[in-house]
Chain A
């Protein structure tokens, strides 16, 4: 079924919207959640919660890109669950590693610039940064930090060596930090 037809089902308040969403995007959402949570049951729960959120959001919202819309919800829910578990000291080493890597992108707090703390501006800045990257470097970065994919999986999927992926990520993190600092953004 086409995305527009699925959205029409949401607008018609037809429960079939949920089943059609599951048919087309269930695995996609589960994998995103799994990459963050590394647990089948928790990932399932995130996926199911994604459907509830989508049901509540559409209408009035009419996503231009249903896949990204659902993936973003699943990712946010998984991060919420991760934070909740983290507080309970549950071990989720892979996501820890990703967050550790991201600490390298954070501008130094003593940067002598105006503090800008709005998330939207941070995201806008990251967007403009991504637009300047080569396609390969951007895909590697997004696979790692949006999809939370393991570096081994990224290397395999794109046909790159592991060292190339790691080097690309390291350089991109460094560039992002410089970019954010140049824009006066302090996290």
Chain B
């Protein structure tokens, strides 16, 4: 198919043109916030590849006497994603506390996960399983939102004495990020929210 050939050839154009035309905003409805656990399989594969590599090297070096030991190493290595039923359990896993709202409108079903033992992510889902809100907390000051799109509007509000950066389009904000006392926070509202709505949510997060 000639059209597909042209389409694929266009795929290899210079990076500078790809950057230049990068979308200024993404189609929010096209994106579902992803539970870390969804791609645990990838890490498992990755770790398996890594594990096999290690095993081969160790075996070649004559270090490994008991291959069953490799299996147990792998089990430990492959699962960096953990889902929890309670916040308390997740807090113990990461070693810090988190305070979050019980629900977000109709999105009252919380799914709690921890990634690599360093970041808590809580997704708020409605009865159909759609994610409406996602809250993340981790140690440090990096932006942990996972949303690096360029939005039309950026604003800064003050909540509890610390600045919070908001990003969105016009009056509809999709993202709030801030850091406070050594922790980074990110709130992502899949359908967007007003400044006031986000303010209310952020007030209840620590």
Which residues on B sit within 8 Å (CB–CB) of A30?
Answer: 30-31
Nearest neighbor of A142 in chain B, beta-carbon distance: B21
Which of B8, B14, B116, B147 sits near A27, CB closer than 8 Å?
B147
Which residues on B sit within 8 Å (CB–CB) of A69?
Answer: 15
Give the complex CA separation of A76 and B30 in angstroms. 19
| A126 on the B face (CB < 8 A) | yes
Which residues on B sit within 8 Å (CB–CB) of A25?
Answer: 148
| B205 on the A face (CB < 8 A) | no
Give the complex CA separation of A157 and B17 in angstroms. 16
Which residues on A sit within 8 Å (CB–CB) of B31?
Answer: 27, 30-31, 34
Give the complex CA separation of A180 and B80 in angstroms. 50
Which residues on B sit within 8 Å (CB–CB) of A146?
Answer: 10-11, 13, 17-18, 21
| A55 on the B face (CB < 8 A) | yes
Which residues on A sit within 8 Å (CB–CB) of B17?
Answer: 127, 130, 138, 142, 146
Which residues on B sit within 8 Å (CB–CB) of A169?
Answer: none
| B39 on the A face (CB < 8 A) | yes
Flag A65-100 by CB within 8 Å of B: 1 or 0 each.
101110110011001000100000000000000111
Give the complex CA separation of A67 and B146 in angstroms. 13
Nearest neighbor of A135 in chain B, beta-carbon distance: B20
Flag A126-148 by CB within 8 Å of B: 1 or 0 each.
11001000010011001101110
Give the complex CA separation of A68 and B18 in angstroms. 6
A interface residues, tally (CB under 8 Å): 61
Q: A13–B147 contact, CB under 8 A?
A: no
Q: B20–A126 contact, CB under 8 A?
A: no
Give the complex CA separation of A78 and B9 in angstroms. 14
Q: A130–B146 contact, CB under 8 A?
A: no
CB distance from B29 to the nearest CB of A (A): 9
CB distance from B12 to the nearest CB of A (A): 4
Q: B11–A76 contact, CB under 8 A?
A: yes
Which of A16, A64, A139 sits near B21, CB closer than 8 Å?
A139
Nearest neighbor of B30 in chain A, beta-carbon distance: A34
CB distance from B31 to the nearest CB of A (A): 5
| A22 on the B face (CB < 8 A) | yes
Which residues on A sit within 8 Å (CB–CB) of B14?
Answer: 127, 130
Which residues on A sit within 8 Å (CB–CB) of B142?
Answer: 1
Flag A21-38 by CB within 8 Å of B: 1 or 0 each.
011111110110010000
| B46 on the A face (CB < 8 A) | yes
| B87 on the A face (CB < 8 A) | no
Q: B50–A13 contact, CB under 8 A?
A: yes
Give the complex CA separation of A105 and B80 in angstroms. 48
Q: B6–A22 contact, CB under 8 A?
A: no
Give the complex CA separation of A13 and B116 in angstroms. 14
| A103 on the B face (CB < 8 A) | yes
Q: Which of A39-73 contact B (CB under 8 A)?
A: 40, 43-44, 48, 51-52, 55-56, 64-65, 67-69, 71-72
| B75 on the A face (CB < 8 A) | no
CB distance from A68 to the nearest CB of B (A): 4
Which residues on B sit within 8 Å (CB–CB) of A83?
Answer: 1, 4
The 3 closest A-B pairs by CB, nearest first: A142-B21, A68-B15, A99-B3
Can you report 9 A-B residue pairs in the complex whose CB atoms are below 8 A from each other? Answer: A15-B80, A27-B146, A28-B26, A55-B42, A67-B18, A126-B9, A139-B21, A142-B17, A146-B10
